[in-house]
Amino acid sequence: MSNYFHCAPLPLEPGSIIQPGNFGRMLNCYPLNQNTNAWMLVRELAFENARLNLARERPSRLECAFVIDTIEDAKWYQYTHGRFNIIYEVEALDDVSNSHSTPISLLDALPQEALVLSSWRLRAQEYWSGRGDGPRERLINSRLRIIQPIS
């Protein structure tokens, strides 16, 4: 079993279990209305399409658990992507040998002048290559057990 960090916007007790696939479950619940985060749906469909074509063996963003290897990267993620998130130290409960680590910055919003679909397709190719610098996220097909909240 391996220890990582996980960011979540809700308070969880030590021993709580996070199931993989929650992000994909939430996206599948999106209604078609003006309040839907449509750019996120486009991004995730572009990323899943690229995974199927370039890295089929890697965990799907729609079915995995997201973890971060270092507390420094987790703090960066919290600051830039989810200030209301709580950082937890977590333990992976299942085999994590088939994981994928990639720069988190590839998920950042596109510049206003960007061509949305082609820009997300290019970022998706880079995402699944695993190349790049900066803070990283890791996709794993495992349940996570909360060890303790960090901040």
Query: 114-129: per-residue pLDDT in tens?
Result: 998 999 999 999 999 9
* pLDDT under 50: residue ranges of the chain: none
Which pLDDT score is estimated for 79? Answer: 94
pLDDT tens track for 3-14: 999 999 999 999
DSSP lists the bridge partners of residue 88 as 6, 149
Kindly report the pTM of this predicted structure: 0.93
pLDDT for the residue 50:
98
> Cβ neighbours of residue 148 under 8 Å, at least 6 residues apart?
14, 88, 89
User: CB–CB of 126/34 below 8 Å?
Assistant: no
Length of the chain in residues, anyone?
151
Q: How many CB atoms lie within 10 A of CB 52?
A: 12
